[in-house]
Amino acid sequence: MNEDAFWALIDELSRRTEDLEEKTEWLRRELLRRPAAESVEFQVRLDDACEVAGTRALWRAADRIESGSCSDDGFHYFTLWLVGQGRKVYESVVADPDALADVPGIRALVGRHRSEWDDDEWPEWEELDYVAQDAYDELTGQEDDHGEEFDDAVDERAEELADELQGDFEGEWEEGGERRGSRPEGVAIPRLTALFPLAATGS
């Protein structure tokens, strides 16, 4: 499963109309139709996408939406949710966190206290992080090993991909560890700030 195949699967997932639990189950069934190695590849690609999205600028945006209550775990679940919105949304928001103001799932929360949000409305998707392991364990009969074989396979494949891609980013990184053209961490989020004023949405 290369990057394009990963995003094709995610895009199909994002178009489904079911709730998050049903979407997760659809993805699990889809992975069960494939070799176990595909579940490993899926997790590697998912981990990488979440890592890329894990910027301070995006955390500030998520924290604003959640009225200052976005924890470290909550932010990870937020990045999983963001991946699950599909490639176009993901890439636009990673490039400019204020683009979250255009995402329908975020706009549906505007003007409502977070205590009024239904479970499926929260921009978090923790279960997406476990579905590949569940499929892998079922395919390999490793349900009783607490995911150890799966984790080892993911780590090994991630290292292989890192070696394969080592030269792909030469020249893209500038002094100080910033990607050329990347937005500064302190970038403003004016539209989200307007949509989610702390006085109106805070506890």
Buried b or exposed e, range 84-105, using 16+ CB within 10 angstroms: bbbbebbeebbebbbbbbebeb
Residue 147 or 150, more confident = 150
- pLDDT at 186 (0 to 100): 56
Question: Does residue 199 have a pLDDT over 90?
Answer: no
Average pLDDT over residues 89-102: 97
Supply the mean pLDDT for the chain.
87
Q: What is the pTM of this model?
A: 0.86
Q: pLDDT tens for residues 3-56?
A: 999 999 999 999 988 789 999 999 999 999 999 999 999 999 999 999 999 999
Higher-pLDDT residue of 193, 172: 193
pLDDT at 116 over 50: yes
